[in-house]
Amino acid sequence: TMQIALIGCGAIGTALLELVKDDVGLQIAAVVVPAEGAEAARAVAQRLAPGAQVVQAVPADGIDLVVEAAGHAAIEQHVLPALRRGVPCIVASVGALSAAGLPEQLEAAAREGRTQVQLIAGAIGGIDALAAARIGGLSTVRYTGRKPPHAWKGTPAEQGRDLDALANETVIFEGTAREAAAQFPKNANVAATVSLAGLGLDRTTVRLIADPAVRENLHQVEAAGAFGSFELTMRNQPLAANPKTSALTVFSAVRALRGKVAPLVI
């Protein structure tokens, strides 16, 4: 049975525990949270992963795989050291890799530990096609993210406008994926994933839209190159516990986990 350390026990971490609690071959051995989140995490772990210890760092021994669902700080604090020790890691907070130098740090740590870090597709599909198209030559990639106005609260979208009063769709950002990630870090995951699979953060164009006519989180990718072209539209239901996150993000993490132990993987 694969012994897993889960970093983070927020909306994504909790939903992940719920989905894998009966999986044969997967054992959540540790839930890693900061001291101030330990009590809440213990209550969740008791219910969904009774065998797990709630700790503030990834245990030095007995862990076969680390799954990150906690954000930028967790990658630097927990994922990099685990990789250097040779423990493979799955990273869900791909948006954090918009920070200068972080993808290279992950790569260097994995090389040092002779292991691998896997970035999951999260809320978006078509990453396999995009990454394959890059091999043949990509010329343009554009990502458009459209969400209900309330999903943009707590971001620069609120500056100079009342999100609750929007009557029509409003473009709140247009620029490169790197700029998008800097201004909208909590909404950076899809743009960063598309960038890392395709043309990179500076050559991927991003448009973000607040639209009172939509209830779901809409993600659209348009790509063209030597392979031909494709357009992908995803209409994702938000995660009940966090409207900024698509439920598919959790399913993507579970799929990656199960893929480590399944006898047949696609």
Tell me the Ramachandran region of residue 154: left when phi exceeds 0, alpha when psi lies from -120 to 50, beta otherwise. left
**CB 219, CB 123: distance < 8 Å:** yes
**CB 220, CB 144: distance < 8 Å:** yes
Cα-only R_g, the chain: 19
**CB 51, CB 29: distance < 8 Å:** yes
Contacts 24+ apart (CB under 8 A), 130-133: 130/194, 130/197, 130/198, 130/221, 130/223, 131/197, 131/198, 132/227, 133/198, 133/223, 133/225, 133/226, 133/227, 133/230
Cβ-based neighbour number of residue 202 at 10 Å: 11
**Catalytic residue ranges:** 219
